[in-house]
Amino acid sequence: MAKEGVEKAEETEQMIEKEAVKEPAEGGGGSHRLGDAQEMRAVVLAGFGGLNKLRVTRKAMPEPQDGELKIRVKACGLNFIDLMVRQGNIDNPPKTPLVPGFECSGIVEALGDSVKGFEIGDRVMAFVNYNAWAEVVCTPVEFVYKIPDDMSFSEAAAFPVNFVTAYMMLFEVANLREGMSVLVHSAGGGVGQAVAQLCSTVPNVTVFGTASTFKHEAIKDSVTHLFDRNADYVQEVKRISAEGVDIVLDCLCGDNTGKGLGLLKPLGTYILYGSSNMVTGETKSFFSFAKSWWQVEKVNPIKLYEENKVIAGFSLLNLLFKQGRAGLIRGVVDKLIGLYNQKKVKPVVDSLWALEERQH
């Protein structure tokens, strides 16, 4: 049985347009028994590079270890970080072959020892440290969350990375409050749309957004002022708000870093949470990486002090898997599910794909 695919980030769509092909969002359901070994299907990245490095293959079925849940995957997310992984455009990439994917939703199929609070049959969403693009995953219980009865599996798979990232940046790092203004790049992407929805939960927040023109129609109602991603957004923002903005959320990097810092009001916060300008083709480009890095304005701490500005970085996956903040993230997920139940936020699922469609 084919599973649902989920939201593609805006930047990923731009890459796919250039390549004239589509990438997978997820795998299928079911398992197979060959001899005495039970197997499953998974999308395997054979080596870093283009789409031809991805294959749907059979792998041994994982079983939960102590403290883990085994989840029959119904949907999994495709995010821009997955494109970065495919190209090897991340720090200390794991060795290939590997199964990509960091988030999924599904049904609890088995419990490891010492697992409490979950039962077989529970509908859940989860963070996974790779391996999400498969029919079955095992992940520690601290990364798993029950989902509301009316949330679909495809919505649940589009929820964790995008909404937790947006919430953490806005409320934990930048302390968004009534009357503030926010500039978000790639406003049509998964995180960008989550940012706009969360900003609408706070009174009188002005949202400035940049996005590709073909995205404008879909997001125009959620963003106060929308600009084309290739336009001179600095001048456009200053024309509307001469003082600038309180928060800049930058997933582009490169010369946008200096522009973002320049747009900050006193006591404003600039947050870097990605570097998509370093990706300009199907495979890793040293030239693109070097150019983007060179364009980053060198930050002078004394200037930050004099101008009363804050610069920060945010990596959800590092916070989860390297820095041990799963407890903090669980509290954020609880708040987000509350907002979902109140109909104040809702994941936007761009398109659905079966696992095998990665090859077309």
Q: pLDDT, tens digit, for every residue of 140-152?
A: 999 999 999 999 9
Cβ neighbors of 342 (< 8 A, separation 6 or more) are: none
pLDDT at 275: 66
**Higher-confidence position of 11 and 310:** 310
How many other β-carbons are positioned within 10 Å of the β-carbon of residue 57?
A: 14
Q: What pLDDT band is residue 242 in, cutting at 50, 70 and 90? A: very high
Structure tokens at 125: 């969403």
pLDDT at 80: 86
Query: Percent of the chain, pLDDT > 90?
Result: 65
String of DSSP letters for 51-110: GGGEEEEEEEPP---TTEEEEEEEEE---HHHHHHHHT-SSSPPPSSB---SEEEEEEEE
Q: pLDDT, tens digit, for every residue of 113-144?
A: 999 999 999 999 999 999 999 999 999 999 99
pLDDT at residue 25 greater than cutoff 50:
no
pLDDT at residue 289 greater than cutoff 70:
no
Q: What pLDDT band is residue 51 in, cutting at 50, 70 and 90? A: confident
pTM: 0.85
Q: pLDDT, tens digit, for every residue of 55-103?
A: 999 999 999 999 999 999 999 999 888 888 898 888 778 899 999 999 9
